[in-house]
Chain A
Amino acid sequence: AQSVTQPDIHITVSEGASLELRCNYSYGATPYLFWYVQSPGQGLQLLLKYFSGDTLVQGIKGFEAEFKRSQSSFNLRKPSVHWSDAAEYFCAVGSWGKFQFGAGTQVVVTP
């Protein structure tokens, strides 16, 4: 069955430290991959996407993600987090014209 897994429900990170959010997928072919961020009570903002080509993708707000076909992963990274990065992060897979979202990872940033 097709699935998107975000293994970490909750991550706490110190301001200025690096952040990595994991995303694994299970699909028959290479799907289209996305990372979105959601602030409380808000809609989703696209951070970055991967369709094909260079497997290291740069996004907004200093985020990047790396597609690893062998590991079926699309992990999101940021070298130095800011307090404003505290939010819910969703990995999404596009297939057959629709999205399937992971369960989300809540990021808390401490001073």
Chain B
Amino acid sequence: GAVVSQHPSWVICKSGTSVKIECRSLDFQATTMFWYRQFPKQSLMLMATSNEGSKATYEQGVEKDKFLINHASLTLSTLTVTSAHPEDSSFYICSARDRPQTYEQYFGPGTRLTVT
């Protein structure tokens, strides 16, 4: 149980285009989903927290107009990188929480984004 999937697992896009990454909780309803960014050989940095049906809360320094997050249902959250540039190339990981009062998060396998 508690499986989180991400799609696509890797994507290459051209500079200036937008790309959407999906995060799905397969066997539970996710009240909260998180989006992380991981640069090579570095740790995960929290980008934003999204609760179903409400606006995402972005961490300081994360451009909300560039990284659009939508959490339209209890099983799906999307991250759209708008007008992507090479510096946006990274490994994006989502996680989900099944209960509001728990700290436990279930992580997706990640999406490798390369912007050329």
Question: What is the interface of chain A, defined by CB distance below 8 A to chain B?
Answer: 32, 34, 36, 41-46, 49, 51, 90, 94, 97-104, 106
Contact = CB atoms under 8 A, between A and B. Distances in A.
A97 B48 CA distance: 12
Nearest to B2: A46
Interface of B: 4, 6, 32, 34, 41-46, 49, 91, 93, 95, 103-105, 107-110, 112
B12 to A, nearest CB: 15
Contacts of A45: 107
20 contacts: A36-B107, A41-B110, A41-B112, A42-B109, A43-B4, A43-B93, A44-B44, A44-B107, A45-B107, A49-B104, A90-B43, A97-B32, A97-B49, A98-B46, A98-B49, A99-B95, A101-B45, A103-B42, A103-B43, A104-B43
A99 B110 contact: no
A41 B114 CA distance: 14
Q: Chain A interface mostly helix, strand, loop or mixed?
A: strand
Contacts of B107: 36, 43-45
B110 A42 contact: yes
Q: Chain B interface mostly helix, strand, loop or mixed?
A: strand
Nearest to A45: B107
A104 B43 CA distance: 6
Contacts of B46: 98-100
Contacts of A106: 41
Contacts of A44: 44, 93, 95, 107
Nearest to A44: B107
A23 B108 CA distance: 24
Contacts of B34: 98-99
B110 A43 contact: yes
B108 A94 contact: no
Nearest to A104: B43
B103 A90 contact: no
A4 B46 CA distance: 14
